[in-house]
Structure 1
C-alpha cells in the first residue's frame, strides 16, 4: 500500500535543509498529521519535500534518536507507536526533571528571560483566543518548556528533556484529547511562570511537577489505570 505524505509540507530552498526537514517531520508527527505506524520512506518524503534524500535521511535518523520514529527490521523507519507502559514510566521521569529544570531556571532568571517567557505565554493565549488548532497549541506548549530548560544552562538536562518531551506529547495526544486541554495547560504554565517571576525556586519546582503530575492523571484516566 502506498503511503500518502500530503500532510507534509515542502521545504523551501536554502541552507540547513536537514534541520528544516526534521522540524517539519517532527511537527507533522506531534500534530498527528503523520500517525503512529506511518512508514517514513526517505525517497517518497524527499520527493514530497522537494529536497534531496540526504537531508531527509539525516532528519529521519534524528527522529529515531528522539524516540519519535522507530527502525523496524526489513521495513525501515516508521512513526513510533504508543507503548502505554513506557509512556507511564516516561511521565514519572519527566515529572522530576521538569521540576528540576524550573528550579534551576529560576535561580538563573534575568529580566530578558522573564520577558521571553511572558511573550510565549501571550502568544499561546492569542492562539487559544483565535481558535488555533492542535498543532499551534502543541508548538506553544513545547516552546514554553524549551525556554525554561534552556535557562538551566545544563546541557545534559536539556538533551534528556528534549527527547522526553517529544515522546510524551506523541503518546499523550494519541491517547487523550479534550477540548479544554490547551486552556488547562496554559493556566498551569502561568503558575510556573508566576513562581519563577517571584524568584521562588521551591514554588517553581512544585508548580512544574504539579503540571506534569496532572498530565499523568489524565494519562491514567485515558488508559484505565488506577495505580499512582
Structure 2
C-alpha cells in the first residue's frame, strides 16, 4: 500500500524545485533524481516524487527513457510560438480588465511601473523581471476570467523557463514604454485601445525574438 505524503510538504518541495529551476540552479537537462533530491531537501522520497509529477504536468520537466525526469527547456522557435498565443491572451485579459480598472488597480499599476523603471535604471534584471511579471499578473487577475488566468499562468511559466537562457534585446526599456501605453488606455476606459496596446506590446517582443532567431519580423 502506498502512503500519501503530507500535501504541505509536497507543496514546499514543489515550490523549492520550481524556484531552483527558474534560478538556473537546476539547468535544462539536469536529472531530477528522487533519492538525491530527497536527501538534499531533507524529506522523504514520496513528496519529491509527487512534486516531480507536478513539474512534468507544468512542462517544467519531462520524462526521458532510461533517465527518468529531467529539467525541460524551451527552444527559441517554441518561445516565438508561445508569444503568438500570448499576444491574443494578453490582449483579451487587458480588454476584460478595463471593466474592473478602478482607481486602486490603476494606482497599483503605476507603482509597479515606477519599480520597473528604477530596476532598469539600476540594471537590476531580477527586480525588473519581477516588476514585469507583477504588472501582467495584476491585469490578468483583474480580468476576472478563470480560464484566461489559467492559460496565461501556463504561458508565463514557459516564458520564465525560456528566459533563463534567452534574453529579449532591449526588452526591459521596451516593456516600460509599452506598459505605460496600456495603462493610459485603461485610464481612458477604452477596452479596444487597451487590447490593442497589450497585443502590440507582445507582438513587438515576438518580433525581437524572431529577429534574434534570424527569421522574418
Runs ≥4 residues deviating over 6 A:
none
Residues 46/198 of structure 1: CA separation in 2 closer, same or farther (3 Å cut):
farther
Q: Which moved more, 1:51-60 or 1:160-169?
A: 51-60
- How far residue 17 of structure 1 moved from its aligned partner, in angstroms, is 4.3
- 1:52 offset after TM fit, Å? 4.2
Which of residues 144, 147, 164 in structure 2 aligns to 1:156? 147
Aligned residues: 211
Please, which of 38, 58, 71 is the counterpart of residue 66 of structure 1? 58
Q: 1:138 aligns with which of 115, 126, 129?
A: 129
1:115 equivalent among 107, 113, 120? 107
Residue 35 in structure 1 maps to residue 32 in structure 2: no
1:97 — aligned with what?
Answer: 89
State the TM-score, normalizing by the size of structure 1.
0.79
1:197 has 2:187 as partner: yes
Q: Which runs of 5+ in 2 are unaligned?
A: 1-6
Q: In 2, are the aligned partners of 1:172 and 1:219 still within 8 Å (CA)?
A: no
Matched, 1:170 2:161: yes
Decide whether the 8 Å contact of 1:175 with 1:223 is kept in 2. Answer: no
Q: CA deviation at 1:173?
A: 4.9
SS of 2:165's equivalent in the other structure is: helix
Aligned twin of 1:81: 73
1:211 to 195, 201, 204: 201
Determine if contact 2:168/2:208 at 8 Å carries over to the other structure. Answer: no
The structure number with the bigger radius of gyration is 2
Aligned to 2:4: none
Alignment-derived partner of residue 173 in structure 2: 183
Q: 1:156 to 1:51 in 2, by over 3 A?
A: same
Using the size of structure 2 for normalisation, the TM-score is 0.83
Contact 1:101–1:149 (Cα < 8 Å) also in 2: yes
> CA contact under 8 A between 1:176 and 1:218: conserved in structure 2?
no
Instruction: Flag structure 1 segments of 5+ consecutive residues without an equivalent.
Output: 1-14
Partner SS state of residue 174, structure 1? coil
Change (3 A) 1:40 1:153: same
